[in-house]
Amino acid sequence: MSKSSSARLLGRSSGSVTVIQTSVHRSYARNARLAGIITALVVGVLAATVAADQVHPILAAILGALIGAATGAVAWTVVRIWPVIRLIWWWLPEITLALGLVYGWTALARATTLPVRLAVVALVVGIPAGIPAVRRRLVALAWCVIVRHRLRVCFAQFIRANASGSLPLILLARPTPVGERVWIYLRPGLSEADLKARLDKIAVACHASTVVVERASEKTAAFLRVDVKRREVLTETIPSPLPGLVNPTAPSNPRTTGTMPTGLDLPDVPDTPAEKPATPTAPTKPAAPKNGSKPTATATAAVINGAGEDISDWI
C-alpha cells in the first residue's frame, strides 16, 4: 500500500493547499508574457527613435533595446504577481493587525518592564471589554472584515466572473446602522443583474437577513454598492424620557366635545337672498270689435323671452 493511499484511508489529505487556482495562475502567466513582450517592443522602438537624434543609430538601437527590456520586465512582473497583490489586498486588515501586534509587543518589551507591559495589555483589552460603545464599534469593524471575505467566497463559488477566473475587486467596507456597506468593482463578464439574481445566496453566505445591490456611480455600471442588512432599526423599541416628565398626581382636565357643523358657514359673506329670474309676459290679444265693425289696427304688445330679448317680430 502506498503512502498516498494510506493517507486517504486514514482521512488525511496529502496534497497542498491551493491559494491561487491553477486556471488563474496559467491565465496571468500568459497575460504577463504578452504584456512583457509588447511593452518591450513598443518602448524599445520609441526609445531608439528618440535617441537616434542625439547619438549614432547603432548606439540608439542598443539603448532602445535596454530601455525596452527594462520596461518589459517591469510590466511582466506587475501582471505576473497581480494575483498575489490581490490576495494581499484581501487579507490586508489581518496582515496589518498581526504586524502591529507583533512589532508593537516587541517595541513595548524592549522599552518597558513586565509590570508596565501587563498594565498596557490590561488597558488595551479592558477598555473595549468594559465600554459598550467601544465594544460595539470594534464588533462592527470586525463584521466589515468578515463580510469582505464572505463576498469573495460568493464570487469564487457560485458567481462566475469570466473565462479567465478573475474575481471582482472588493474595495472598502464600513459599518451602517443596519449592517455593513461594501463597494465592489466588477470585472468584464459580470453585471448588476447577475448579482441581483443571487441575493438570497449572498445573504446566506454573509449571515444576514437581506442584501441589496445598487449602483454606486452614474458614470460606470461596474462600480456597485452592496448593503448587507442584519437588523431592522425601525422595529426596535426606543426608550423615551417623556413619560417620566408627566406628574402622576396632576388632576385630569375633562374635555368637552362641541357640536359638529352640519352646514357651510362663511362669516365673511353677507346673507343676501338670491334674486329670482324675470319671467316672460304672455302676449295680449286684441279686443274683439263690437256691432260688426272691422277691427282697428292696434299696437302689439312686446313679447320678451327669458333672456330679455324682444321676439315680437318673430311671432
Which domain does 191 fall in, by range?
131-233
The count of domains in the chain is: 2
Give the CATH number for residue 178: 3.30.980.40
Examine residue 40 and state whether it is found in any structural domain, yes or no.
Answer: yes
- The DSSP string of 11-66 is T---S---SS-HHHHHHHHHHHHHHHHHHHHHHHHHHHHHHTTTS-HHHHHHHHHH
Q: What is the DSSP letter of 241?
A: S
Examine residue 297 and state whether it is found in any structural domain, yes or no.
Answer: no
What are the cell numbers at 254?
Answer: 375633562
Domain end among 233, 260, 286:
233
Examine residue 186 and state whether it is found in any structural domain, yes or no.
Answer: yes
Instruction: Look at residue 158 in the predicted model and tell me its pLDDT.
Output: 81
Q: Give yes or no: residues 142 and 220 share one domain.
A: yes
Instruction: Look at residue 201 in the predicted model and tell me its pLDDT.
Output: 92
Closest alpha carbon to 168 in 141, 143, 146, 195: 195
Domain end among 209, 233, 257:
233
Measured between alpha carbons, how far is 180 from 168 in angstroms, rounded to an integer? 18
Examine residue 203 and state whether it is found in any structural domain, yes or no.
Answer: yes
Q: Give yes or no: residues 149 and 71 share one domain.
A: no
Full-model pTM = 0.58
Instruction: Look at residue 71 in the predicted model and tell me its pLDDT.
Output: 93
Q: Give yes or no: residues 139 and 229 share one domain.
A: yes
Q: Give yes or no: residues 162 and 222 share one domain.
A: yes
Instruction: Look at residue 268 in the predicted model and tell me its pLDDT.
Output: 72
Beta carbons of 115 and 75 less than 8 angstroms apart: no
Q: Give yes or no: residues 139 and 208 share one domain.
A: yes
Q: Give yes or no: residues 199 and 140 share one domain.
A: yes
CA 115 to chain centre: 49
Amino acid at 200: D
> Tens of pLDDT along the chain (315 residues)?
444 444 444 444 444 445 556 666 677 788 889 999 999 999 999 999 998 888 888 898 999 999 999 999 999 999 888 888 888 888 888 999 999 889 988 888 888 888 888 888 888 888 888 888 888 999 999 999 999 999 988 988 887 666 666 678 899 999 998 999 999 999 888 889 989 999 999 999 999 999 999 999 888 999 999 999 998 777 767 777 888 888 878 777 777 777 776 666 677 767 666 666 666 665 555 555 555 555 554 555 555 655 666 666 665
Q: Give yes or no: residues 143 and 79 share one domain.
A: no
Examine residue 28 and state whether it is found in any structural domain, yes or no.
Answer: yes
Instruction: Look at residue 46 in the predicted model and tell me its pLDDT.
Output: 93
Examine residue 64 and state whether it is found in any structural domain, yes or no.
Answer: yes
Q: Give yes or no: residues 141 and 52 share one domain.
A: no
Domain end among 233, 265, 295:
233
Please give the radius of gyration of the chain, using alpha carbons only, rounded to the nearest integer: 46
Examine residue 91 and state whether it is found in any structural domain, yes or no.
Answer: no
Q: Give yes or no: residues 136 and 208 share one domain.
A: yes
Examine residue 67 and state whether it is found in any structural domain, yes or no.
Answer: yes
Which H or E run includes 310? Answer: none
Q: Give yes or no: residues 146 and 79 share one domain.
A: no
Residue 104 region by backbone torsions, left for phi larger than 0, else alpha for psi between -120 and 50, else beta: alpha
Place of cell 437581506: 210
What would the 3-class secondary structure string for 67-122 be? HHHHHHHHHHHHHHCHHHHHHHHHCHHHHHHHHHHHHHHHHHHHHCCHHHHHHHHH
